[in-house]
Amino acid sequence: MLKVSIEIFGNKELFFGLSDEQMGLLATVAEQVIYCDGQTIFNEGEMGDALVIVQSGGVDLFKKADHGGEIKLATLPAGAVMGEMTLINIERRSATARAAGDTIAVFLKNSDLVTIFNQDRELFIVLLINITRILSKRLRQANEKLMSK
């Protein structure tokens, strides 16, 4: 496991309002993983157990198609956050994520939330509020996209 710097948490919606000390606590429980171009980060249908921050590189998201192939949904750039729903509701992954170029990803696991809850309740609450805001924003964007068709 590679050491995670608190800078990875700065300027991200998910970590808005956190102090350097709180981001330091996150850095102690987060895990950093290096992926080569095309390497799978997680597969559609797997149980989700972590939020992922794209520290560098990018991530392509794919959905299984009815005809057996895959449909590319999006490419997430460095700084993007994915999998935040799994911190609230443990479910199967809704898409496959693959490194788009050499990529460094930082994982914050569900089990880490227990550590955070026990050590800093304010941090835990701020994370949950920020996750709720992100999910609300994404739901609103999905609604707008559906209504524009």
With a CB cutoff of 8 Å and minimum separation 6, the contacts of 104 are 32, 33, 34, 35, 54, 55, 56, 57
Strand, coil or helix: what is 137?
helix
Using the predicted structure, report yes or no on whether residue 11 has a pLDDT greater than 80.
no
Global pTM reads: 0.86
Using the predicted structure, report yes or no on whether residue 130 has a pLDDT greater than 70.
yes
Using the predicted structure, report yes or no on whether residue 123 has a pLDDT greater than 90.
yes
CATH architecture of 6-128: Sandwich (2.60)
Q: Domain coordinates of the chain in residue numbers?
A: 6-128
